[in-house]
């Protein structure tokens, strides 16, 4: 099981015995998160839906196609968010997609920035990825601030990119490169140091 810690958080992969934590989290945040997510059917909010989601995440982690970590405050008793690294591609691409969400009661406390710093480190140093991509609805200003704070660069806008809450929404495409694997940046930095 994947488990990591930060100053204030435990980041860990969910197991089947975590169904109650997940179910409480999605029900508590149903209205808040619906503006940023695909439309969900009622099964998603059931124990059966939670079990299926956890089983899919375990499979993705086991096969190194994804990293799915839930955020718990250090006492470990309340799930406050999640980070998903999906569509990991190795070979010449070494890339992935990043998604994240946080409990409405916990926004503006720096938890997501703290957790994402750890996940970026995991992607670049444990999975040896070169590129992390994140797509954000333009009106999601909090999410955009977090990405910019972490050094993500805007690469462009994709019109009608994802169907969110029943509507096709534009997304801004952000990317963070692993500077360790980027010879161009390393050479540019060396030139500046001379």
Quote the tokens at residue 125: 């140093």
pLDDT in tens, 126-140: 999 999 999 999 999
Statement: residue 185 has pLDDT above 60 = no
Flag whether pLDDT at 190 surpasses 90: no
Give domain 3-193's CATH superfamily. Answer: Gcn5-related N-acetyltransferase (GNAT) (3.40.630.30)
Instruction: Give φ, ψ of 84 to 5 degrees.
Output: -120, 125
Checking if the pLDDT of 163 tops 90, the result is yes
Would you give the distance in Å from CA 164 to the centre of its chain?
17
pLDDT average, residue stretch 40-65: 95
Query: What's the DSSP call for residue 38?
Result: -
Provide the percentage of residues in the chain whose pLDDT is more than 90. Answer: 89
| HSE-CB of 15 using CA atoms within 13 angstroms | 5
For residues 69 and 82, the answer to whether their CB atoms sit within 8 Å is yes
Q: Considering the entire predicted model, what is its pTM? A: 0.89
- What pLDDT does 1 receive? 81
- Torsion angle in degrees (nearest 10) through CA of 26, 30, 32, 36: 80
Strand, coil or helix: 192: helix
Averaged pLDDT, 102-117: 97
Q: What is the C-alpha separation between 176 and 16, in angstroms, rounded?
A: 32
Minimum mean pLDDT range among 17-21, 71-75, 116-120, 170-174: 71-75
Here the tokens at position 80 are 């406050």
- % residues pLDDT > 70 (the chain): 92
Helix (H, G, I), strand (E, B) or coil at 82: strand
């Amino acid at each position: 099981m994947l488990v990591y810690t930060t100053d204030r958080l435990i980041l860990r992969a969910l197991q089947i015995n975590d169904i109650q934590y997940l179910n409480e989290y999605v029900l508590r945040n149903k209205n808040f998160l619906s503006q940023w997510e695909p439309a969900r059917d009622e099964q998603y909010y059931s124990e059966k839906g939670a079990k299926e989601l956890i089983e899919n995440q375990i499979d993705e982690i086991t096969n190194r196609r994804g990293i799915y970590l839930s955020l718990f405050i250090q006492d470990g008793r309340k799930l406050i968010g999640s980070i998903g690294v999906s569509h990991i591609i190795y070979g010449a691409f070494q890339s992935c997609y990043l998604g994240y969400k946080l409990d409405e009661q916990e926004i503006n406390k720096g938890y997501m920035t703290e957790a994402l710093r750890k996940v970026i480190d995991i992607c670049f140093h444990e999975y040896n990825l070169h590129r992390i991509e994140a797509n954000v609805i333009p009106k999601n200003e909090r999410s955009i601030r977090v990405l910019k704070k972490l050094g993500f660069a805007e690469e462009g806008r994709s019109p009608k990119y994802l169907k969110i809450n029943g509507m096709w929404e534009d997304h801004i495409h952000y990317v963070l490169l692993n500077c360790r694997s980027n010879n161009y940046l390393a050479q540019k930095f060396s030139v500046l140091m001379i």
